[in-house]
């Protein structure tokens, strides 16, 4: 047995390791569960849970991963013999590697652009055999006809002026080498399936170029020329082995040599060979142009080759993996887990936007323990249990809310405020506006009890707005009542302090001697004037209640109007029944159960 894709086989031991680790983890969880609930009570608490199904589901998942990984490795055994016959044509590229091809008038250089053109054409004509002839003052067969594209690309990249000692541009000799290359490497007599492509700047071809092109026409091969370079002229750079520019090529008199493309000569050569001349501007576009031209040539069946191949057997293991995965899904463990999570939800209401099935067993047990301790009045232990539950689900805003409520009732207002703020932050980030409204309310009440009036008013105001957004009229109502009660209590305290101060001032003034009659007269007049002003104010405000406005930077318009209306009604009631009603409403915390 062998594998065509052995790089995927690492997934097989990984699936085995996954099964072992998961089994160990399940055992540890079971031991923790047994510490809190006796095994004989499991069926009554989680009636739909089956430990056997739980283990079977994890086993089938591991098997599915194992078999699918084995299939990805493409296991093979057995052999069969195949006959391969392809259709194509023979192409020989005749590449000019003279010094003038190093000119950089077309970036990166004439030679580099020609090399790119040959490689792109070879990639498009994958079924054709391709050969390479390099020429300058002489010519040689750089690569015989082959379908090995990697080999062709490697040969093309290695060509430069240094591969030919005798410089110049003898196209006639190059075409003769190409023609003999067809005869030496050809596998049939269909000459119309052959073509020669010349790539050059057209300089110094000599007199033999046209004659050689006519010989190509007589031979019966297709003929194409591609001119590369600019007609403006460009110097020939001389570079070191590291590619650093040292100078430009000069003639015998010391003048810099300028090379120009000779498109007219290349067109004449193409015409003599019965072919077509093109300009090599963009290598990719030129490659598609040549491929389109070659579509009219007949593709001959190449020699039939017999090849022995190994037989793929991956489909059996892939089928086994799919069956294991299907069984895993049919066991319905996810459905049972959802049922048990719903049972937890009914036993202990759990506010928040997290789905019930996301609650882990450890989180459920700690939360349940905290609820029991809270109901017994052990608020410190309750807060610790909620904190333990929070370790398994740190992003659960409800657990922060529960812990804050326990701390507030346990007379730890500073810690409670921190947890309420954290609960609000997490709830808002998760879009859970219900929990955010309750957290703001509890924080506001705690802030007021901790004598932080400004923060308390702000949190209660935000709780009212958040309750309206989340559609919780009960929370909005108690938050509004708590805010009004706090404002009334503050006003009452201020009034009591003022009355005490007035009584003290009156007592201190009674021990003093009366002033002179003149002063008494002035004092009487002043008193009469004050009485007159008070009478005017009384006429303007017959109820005797000061018209005050409640301002808060965080109140919206509708919330502010609602509070002002409630304040107005409450002040009237306080004024009319101040001597009858002395009770202050008790503020309370909203619990999460």
Q: Are residue 556 and residue 431 in the same domain, yes or no?
A: yes
Strands 237-239 and 245-248: antiparallel
Question: Pick from 291, 301, 298: which is nearest to 193 by CA?
Answer: 298
Q: What is the mean pLDDT of residues 214-223?
A: 90
Instruction: Quote the pLDDT of residue 227.
Output: 94
**Dihedral (C-alpha) 413, 417, 418, 424: value to the nearest 10 degrees?**
160
- Give a yes or no: residue 126 inside a domain: yes
Question: Pick from 114, 115, 94, 295: which is nearest to 213 by CA?
Answer: 94
The 10s digit of each residue's pLDDT in 221-278 is 999 999 999 988 889 888 877 777 778 888 778 888 888 999 998 999 999 999 999 9
Q: Are residue 72 and residue 98 in the same domain, yes or no?
A: no
Here the tokens at position 454 are 């400004």
Using CA atoms, how far apart are residues 192 and 92, in angstroms rounded to an integer? Answer: 14
H helices present in 125-259, as ranges: 149-158, 171-185, 208-219
CA atoms within 13 Å, Cβ hemisphere of 267: 6
Name the average pLDDT for the chain: 76
The 10s digit of each residue's pLDDT in 158-197 is 999 989 888 878 888 899 999 998 887 555 444 448 999 9
Question: Pick from 260, 255, 422, 362: which is nearest to 37 by CA?
Answer: 362
- Give a yes or no: residue 190 inside a domain: yes
Q: Are residue 445 and residue 580 in the same domain, yes or no?
A: yes
CA angle centred on 479, ends 477 and 482, rounded to 5°: 110
Q: Are residue 220 and residue 106 in the same domain, yes or no?
A: yes
Taking CA atoms, 362 is separated from 31, 34, 349, 358, in Å, by 11, 11, 16, 12
Burial of 186 (0-12, 13-18, 19+ CB in 10 A): middle
Max avg pLDDT among 180-189, 407-416, 484-493: 407-416
The 10s digit of each residue's pLDDT in 308-351 is 678 888 888 899 989 988 888 887 544 444 333 333 333 333 33
Cis (ω within 30 of 0) for the bond into 108? yes
Task: Decide: 463 and 475 in contact? Cβ < 8 Å.
Answer: yes
Radius of gyration of the chain (CA): 48
- Give a yes or no: residue 512 inside a domain: no
Range of the domain at 33: 2-80+315-330
Q: What is the DSSP string of 36-88?
A: HS-GGGHHHHSTT--HHHHHHHHHHHHHHHHHHHHHHT-EEEEEEEEEE--EE
Task: Decide: 142 and 181 in contact? Cβ < 8 Å.
Answer: no
Using CA atoms, how far apart are residues 333 and 401, in angstroms rounded to an integer? Answer: 31
Question: Pick from 446, 431, 408: which is nearest to 352 by CA?
Answer: 431
Using CA atoms, how far apart are residues 155 and 161, in angstroms rounded to an integer? Answer: 14
Only one residue has tokens 């706090």, namely: 486
Q: Are residue 41 and residue 139 in the same domain, yes or no?
A: no
The pLDDT of residue 198 is above 90: yes
Count how many domains the chain has.
Answer: 3
Quote the DSSP letter at residue 7. G
Whole-prediction pTM value? 0.42
Helix (H) or strand (E) holding 583: none
Instruction: Quote the pLDDT of residue 495.
Output: 79
Q: Are residue 362 and residue 436 in the same domain, yes or no?
A: yes
Strands 2-3 and 75-84: antiparallel
- Give a yes or no: residue 537 inside a domain: no
Quote the DSSP letter at residue 589. P
**423-427 contacts at long range (C-beta below 8 A, 24 or more positions apart):** 423/397, 423/398, 424/397, 425/397, 426/395, 426/396, 426/397, 426/400, 427/352, 427/353, 427/397
Here the tokens at position 266 are 């290349």
**Helix and strand numbers, DSSP H then E, in the chain:** 20, 15
Q: Are residue 589 and residue 447 in the same domain, yes or no?
A: yes
Instruction: Quote the pLDDT of residue 228.
Output: 94
CATH of residue 390: 1.25.40.10
Q: Are residue 395 and residue 459 in the same domain, yes or no?
A: yes
- Can you give the three-state secondary structure of 495-537, one letter per residue? HHHHHHHHHHHHHHHHCCCCCCHHHHHHHHHHHHHHHHHHHHH
- Give a yes or no: residue 7 inside a domain: yes
Q: What is the mean pLDDT of residues 391-418?
A: 84
- Give a yes or no: residue 344 inside a domain: no
Confidence class for position 361, pLDDT limits 50, 70, 90: low
CA angle centred on 158, ends 156 and 161, rounded to 5°: 100
Here the tokens at position 286 are 């030129």
Q: Are residue 72 and residue 125 in the same domain, yes or no?
A: no
The pLDDT of residue 414 is above 80: yes
Max avg pLDDT among 41-45, 209-213, 496-500, 539-543: 209-213
CA atoms within 13 Å, Cβ hemisphere of 152: 27
Task: Decide: 101 and 341 in contact? Cβ < 8 Å.
Answer: no
- Give a yes or no: residue 536 inside a domain: no
- Give a yes or no: residue 502 inside a domain: no
Here the tokens at position 161 are 């002026």
Q: Are residue 393 and residue 425 in the same domain, yes or no?
A: yes
Residue 239's beta-bridge partner residues?
A: 245
Q: Are residue 64 and residue 107 in the same domain, yes or no?
A: no
Q: Are residue 154 and residue 223 in the same domain, yes or no?
A: yes
Task: Decide: 145 and 130 in contact? Cβ < 8 Å.
Answer: yes
Lowest-confidence region among 164-178, 447-461, 533-547: 533-547
Is the alpha carbon torsion for 48, 50, 56, 57 positive or negative? positive
CATH of residue 110: 3.40.50.410
């Amino acid at each position: 047995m062998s594998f065509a894709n052995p790089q995927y086989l690492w997934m097989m031991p990984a699936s085995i390791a996954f099964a072992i680790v998961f089994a160990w983890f399940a055992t540890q969880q079971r031991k923790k569960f047994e510490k809190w609930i006796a095994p004989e009570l499991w069926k009554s608490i989680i009636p739909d849970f089956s430990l056997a199904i739980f283990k079977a589901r994890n086993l089938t998942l591991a098997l599915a991963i194992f078999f699918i990984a084995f299939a990805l490795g493409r296991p093979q055994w057995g052999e069969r013999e195949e006959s391969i016959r392809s259709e194509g044509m023979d192409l020989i590229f005749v590449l000019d590697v003279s010094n003038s091809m190093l000119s950089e008038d077309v970036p990166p250089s004439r030679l580099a652009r020609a090399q790119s053109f040959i490689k792109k054409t070879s990639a498009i004509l994958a079924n054709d055999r391709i050969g390479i002839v390099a020429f300058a003052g002489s010519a040689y067969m750089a690569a015989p006809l082959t379908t090995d594209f990697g080999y062709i690309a490697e040969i093309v990249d290695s060509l430069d002026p240094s591969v030919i000692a005798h410089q110049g541009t003898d196209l006639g000799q190059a075409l003769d080498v190409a023609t003999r290359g067809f005869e030496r490497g050809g596998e049939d007599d269909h000459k119309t399936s052959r073509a020669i492509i010349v790539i050059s700047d057209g300089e110094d071809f000599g007199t033999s170029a046209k004659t050689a092109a006519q010989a190509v026409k007589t031979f019966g091969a297709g003929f194409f020329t591609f001119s590369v370079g600019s007609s403006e002229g460009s110097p020939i750079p001389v570079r070191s082995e590291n590619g650093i520019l040292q100078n430009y090529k000069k003639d015998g008199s010391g003048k810099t040599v300028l090379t120009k493309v000779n498109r007219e000569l290349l067109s004449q050569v193409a015409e003599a060979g019965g072919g077509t001349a093109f300009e090599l501007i963009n290598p990719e576009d030129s490659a598609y142009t040549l491929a389109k031209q070659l579509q009219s040539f007949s593709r001959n069946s190449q020699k039939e080759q017999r090849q022995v191949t190994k037989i793929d057997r991956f489909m059996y293991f892939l089928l086994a993996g799919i069956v294991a995965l299907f069984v895993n899904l049919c066991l319905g463990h996810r459905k049972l887990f959802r049922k048990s999570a719903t049972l937890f939800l009914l036993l202990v209401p759990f506010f928040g936007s997290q789905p019930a099935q996301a609650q882990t067993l450890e989180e459920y047990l700690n939360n349940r323990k905290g609820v029991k301790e809270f109901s017994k009045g052990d608020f410190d232990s309750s807060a610790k249990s909620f904190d333990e539950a929070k370790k398994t689900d740190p992003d659960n805003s409800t657990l922060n809310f529960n812990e804050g409520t326990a701390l507030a009732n346990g007379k730890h207002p500073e810690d409670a405020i921190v947890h309420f703020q954290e609960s609000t932050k997490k709830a808002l980030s998760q879009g859970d506006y219900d929990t955010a409204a309750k957290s703001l309310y509890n924080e506001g009440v705690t802030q007021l009890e901790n004598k932080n009036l400004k923060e308390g008013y702000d949190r209660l105001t935000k709780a009212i707005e958040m309750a309206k957004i989340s559609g919780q009229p009960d929370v909005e109502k108690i938050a509004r009542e708590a805010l009004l009660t706090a404002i009334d209590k503050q006003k009452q305290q201020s009034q009591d302090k003022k009355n005490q101060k007035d009584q003290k001032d009156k007592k201190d003034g009674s021990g003093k001697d009366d002033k002179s009659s003149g002063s008494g007269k002035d004092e009487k007049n002043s008193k009469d004037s004050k009485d007159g002003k008070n009478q005017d104010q009384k006429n303007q405000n017959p109820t005797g209640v000061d018209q005050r406005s409640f301002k808060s930077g965080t109140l919206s318009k509708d919330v502010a109007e609602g509070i002002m209306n409630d304040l107005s009604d409450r002040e009237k009631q306080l004024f009319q029944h101040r001597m009858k009603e002395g009770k202050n409403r008790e503020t309370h915390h909203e619990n999460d159960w």
